Amino acid sequence: MLTEQTKSIIKSTTPLFKEKGEEITSKMYALLFAEHPEVKELFAQAPSGQPKILASAIMNYCNNLENLEAMEQELEQIARRHVFRRVQAEHYPFVGAALIQAMKETLGDVATDEVVSAWQEVYTSLANVLIQRESEIYASTY
């Protein structure tokens, strides 16, 4: 459950993420693959616009913090794609660390400790939703 302070920080910084989101996610993938080359194969069949797709999904999540039911179909599609590509729960911390580092590098002084903490909380929340659904799909499929 996200705190009200986190929601407030995310709402106030979402416009900046919207402006810089694709730059952040492009940098995130570069950092992720440099630090964890073993996960690159999970993205081998991903569309060339994957940074834009991820930035859009993060924006949708941030815009619907108060109403995740509005994202139910999108989250289901993401979870199913992840299962198809064999994404595992242990991959999420790698992505989260790379995303936060990319945000720090891209946003500079705007990425205060408070802002970074809020985005980490939101990423963890989203990751937990996906991990839970993906584990259900894995259990019913395999």
Please give the C-alpha separations between residue 39 and each of 14, 88, 95, in angstroms, as whole numbers. 28, 10, 10
Catalytically active residues are: 92, 134
Q: Which residues contact 80 (CB under 8 A, 6 or more apart)?
A: 137
* Domains of the chain with CATH codes: 4-141 (1.10.490.10)
d(CA 38, CA 28): 15
Single pTM value for the model: 0.91
d(CA 114, CA 120): 10
Q: What is the pLDDT of residues 23-76, one digit of tens each?
A: 999 999 999 999 999 999 988 777 778 899 999 999 999 999 889 899 999 999
Cβ proximity of 129 and 75 under 8 Å? yes
Please report, rounded to a whole number, the percentage of residues in the chain having pLDDT higher than 70. Answer: 99
Number of helices and strands (H, E) in the chain? 5, 0
d(CA 133, CA 129): 6
